[in-house]
Structures are given as structure tokens and as C-alpha cells.
Amino acid sequence: MKILGIDPGTKNLGYGIIEFNSKKEVKLIKAGVVKFKETDLQHNIKSFEKLFEPILEEFHVDEVAMETIFFAFNPKSVIKLAQFRGAILAKLLFRYEKIFEYSPLEIKKSLTGTGRGTKQDVNLAVKKFLSIEEEIKPLDISDALGVAITHLNSHLKKEC
């Protein structure tokens, strides 16, 4: 099973694909960040599909998981992110039956054992889980991989 994790952002969108194989091994397939240079939300929504379609086609992802919106102090930023996230969900729902969603608290708890972990704690947990020795930068990438790992953990708990 291949899982795509997405850490949505209107400037930087992190993504990570992991695979859980029949030997019950987890490996990193691809991870990166899509940087949006435009400030126009509509332009970035259109760009998402152009940039992401090749990734979905090449790696034949089975399931998609996305981080939900976190609490923020800037209402304009939250509204813009919510609109962008909704557009991404709509686009992905045409391809996948369901998009799984996890809050930052759920992700941190799944990876670090506590909901109070930092982005750096998530980064370290992702590196350990996937046996990655080099640095994962920017943190949007480890956040996206954390979403994918959280979904895998959730999926495995349901099987038990």
C-alpha cells in the first residue's frame, strides 16, 4: 500500500509517499515540497493540479492523508489556507474515494507519544521511523511524512 501524506500550505506544500509492503516493511518512496511563487490563491489552486498530477500518475498512490488546519492568530491566513485546502480536497476526491484527515495533535501523538511535541520532534520521529540519516528540510516535508505515517498507524490499528 502506498500512502501520500500532505501538509497543505499556500506558500509551501509538503508531500511524502511511503509504502507498506507485504513483508510489513515501511519505506520512503518520494518526498518534497511544492513552492508556490504566486500570491494569488486561484493561480496556486490551478498550479497544484499541474504540479501534482505527474506525481500521482508515476507513483500510483493508494490512499491520501492530509493534515487539518491548525489554530492560528491571523484570521486572513486561516481563511486562505482553508480555501486552498478545500480546493485540494475537491481535486483529490475526483481521483480517490476518501481523503483521510488528521489534526496536528493526532499526528504529534502518533509519532511522539504526546500532542505537545514540536515540529522538530516530529522531524526526529519521522527520521527514526523511516531510518533516514540525513536531514529532512524543510520541515513541511517531515510534517507530510508524519501525516502518512499517522495514517499507516491508524490503518494498522484497525487491522488488529
Does the annotation mark 62 as catalytic? no
123-134 average pLDDT score: 96
pLDDT in tens, 32-66: 999 998 889 999 999 888 888 899 999 999 999 99
Residue 83 has pLDDT above 90, yes or no: yes
- Rounded-to-integer distance, Cα 60 and Cα 62, Å: 6
Q: CA-to-CA distance for 7 and 66, rounded, in angstroms?
A: 6
Active site residue 7: yes
> Is pLDDT at 119 greater than 70 in this prediction?
yes
Contact 30, 65 (CB under 8 A): no
CA-closest candidate to residue 13, choices 91, 74, 73, 76: 91
Check if 106 is active-site.
no
pTM value surpassing 0.85: yes
Q: At what angle do helices 104-112 and 119-129 cross, to 10 degrees?
A: 50
Confidence of residue 104 (pLDDT cuts 50, 70, 90): very high
- For residue 69, give the DSSP letter: P
In this prediction, residue 138 has a pLDDT band, given cuts at 50, 70 and 90, of very high
Please tell me which residue in 63, 67, 106, 143 is annotated as part of the active site: 67
Taking the chain, what is the end-to-end CA distance rounded to the nearest angstrom? Answer: 17
Which residue in 7, 63, 106, 143 is the catalytic one? Answer: 7
Task: Domain ranges for the chain, please list them.
Answer: 2-159
Rounded CA separation 112/102 (Å):
15
Question: Which entry of 19, 63, 106, 140 is annotated as an active-site residue?
Answer: 140
Given a cut of 80, whether residue 132 has pLDDT beyond it is: yes
* Domain 2-159 class in CATH: alpha beta
Which distant-in-sequence residues (6+ apart) come within 8 Å of 74 by Cβ?
Answer: none
Contact indicator for 151, 102 with CB cutoff of 8 Å = yes
Least confident of 36-45, 100-109, 133-142: 36-45
CA 100/CA 148 separation, integer angstroms: 10
